[in-house]
Structure 1
Amino acid sequence: MGPYWSPSSVGGFLLDWDGVIADTKLDFSGVREKYYGGRRAMLLEEAHTLPPETRKALYRDLRELEMSGAEKAAPVPGAFELISWLTESGTPYCVLSRNCMEVIERGAEVIGLTLPEYVWGRDNMEFVKPDPRALLSAAEKIGAAPRSCLYIGDFLYDLQGARRAGMRAVLVQRENAAWACWADAVYPKMTDFVNAVKNKEELVPWEYREIFAEKGALWLKGAFSCALALPERPLPDACAWLARAAALGVGSFYVDPQKILTPDDWKRNPSFDTALMGLSWRDAASRFLSPRFPLARISVERGGALSAPAEASELKGFMEGKVRGDG
């Protein structure tokens, strides 16, 4: 596997509903004005700040607004084509929305779509996006590892949820959005994305965007082909060292398979989750890298892994001696 990814080869697709499959032209500005004084509040997450009766009224108004949109819904151009490709290719997918299920089901009837096996709205799931637990639960249900999943959405919450869950994120049906920087790729039209999938378009991943811009394709290819051995005492700590090396494009890391993350080790490396204490360093490194640098791998054997500087600040100079860039 190279330092690129293709939306045609991901393990599972999570699709937003409104704006990605169905165009309902919802406008929540009136609801925000009525309940939050026009402030751009997160309508669902901040509902608990309202008095109980006001909160009930908010949910009634949301349902009425969403249902009115469902009654006049139209399919987003390219959405049916994408779903056909997913079905034909055997790629698992689901729908994950902040709309209520009644609205999704009615909208599907209106546009003539058979919904997939797994569909979630705000009322049949414990968490809603952008809470990453919503996306992680959905990935588990469709049998796909989060690092191999792609979320397709048309709004900031979609991208935030994907990034927080360690998934790929594609923004569709938007141009010049201020929050496009959250996405791995932006397609102004869903039909553009479908063409990219069918053509097996390869992209520079979000996590390598900066090093690619600075050093170019030759550097990224060369760095990704390198394997570094995690030093005995990386500085300032293992997490900083791994993050720095991976951000430079390094694709593989050797970690002593016999080494266990002890309580003393954790105290020197507190960015590791406390739940990892007692497990192998290899597991700790893998779980740290997985959501941050999904293409990076922990190598099984030492092999040709290079002994790199223990100081994270010296890694770039070290790598410049091993690879060259074209930027």
Structure 2
Amino acid sequence: MKELNAIHLNGLRAVEAAGRLGSLAAAAEELAVTPGAVSQQIAKTEAQLGRILFERTSRGLVPTDFGRLFLTRLSSGFGELAEAVASARRRDESVLTISVAPVFAARWLVYRLNRFAERHPDIRLRIDATTRLVNLDTSDVDVGIRVGEGRWPGVKSELLLEQEVFPVCSPAMAENLREPADILKIPAVIDGHSMFSWEVWLREVGLSGAELGVRHTFNEASLVLDAAIAGQGVMLAWQTLAGFAVTEGSLVVPFGIRARTGYGHYFVSSPSRRESKATTAFKRWVRDEVEEGMRLLDLKAPRANFEPVPAKG
């Protein structure tokens, strides 16, 4: 272990993160520093080792032959260290750490936590609301819920709910909506960071290529939902975002037409870590809640049998 005295640990962490994640920016985000700081740490470590670990190319950092061998052992070593720390944090399996996006936490999860506590009074949840994809092998996160295609590298993913989108608006605004084309006559509120566009739904109803008049654009879906509730425009929402607002009446679904986005809600977890009883219980409860939420949404906003009129031309 004396060899470690000559090398700064922060430099080794920077090397390992950049090699594993493939970019200075990703490494900087994980280490909570700037890309420039990561670059400097890598350069210092190379100088201390007397070996070049990365080639600097137009495509970014590319490990040298020695760098690839070094990174394999370095990642293994840091993985062991991280697992040791995580195991200490996981000593109390009655505390379950859940990683979810802030919008899912605010618009779906928090409304239901009392029911989880009633079913599992012996399990305490710690909610990590973030969009950052944490390293599930080395963090203390037990399970995450993410939206995507389900093909994230290095994780085990299990489909929870296929994502469907549909317009929602205030009851007053819905009074002027009789058929899908009417949606083009009212203003829309937009999520500027959305993974999909209105075209997904417009195509479903035979209005592909049509444009809506945009009133406001936000960078967060939860704010768009609040704007729709306030009557500022129509929003393209999905089940877990708008379900509660629809069932309690602050929003309505003017057309019972839903379009699949190709994405879904997934449980994500470490493929190498044993699933605890608390994790299994949480996942089972979430599935039950999703099923009940969809039942209530279907009652409040039944699906319509809709056949789009073919475009003329």
TM-score, normalised on structure 2? 0.26
TM, length-normalised to structure 1: 0.26
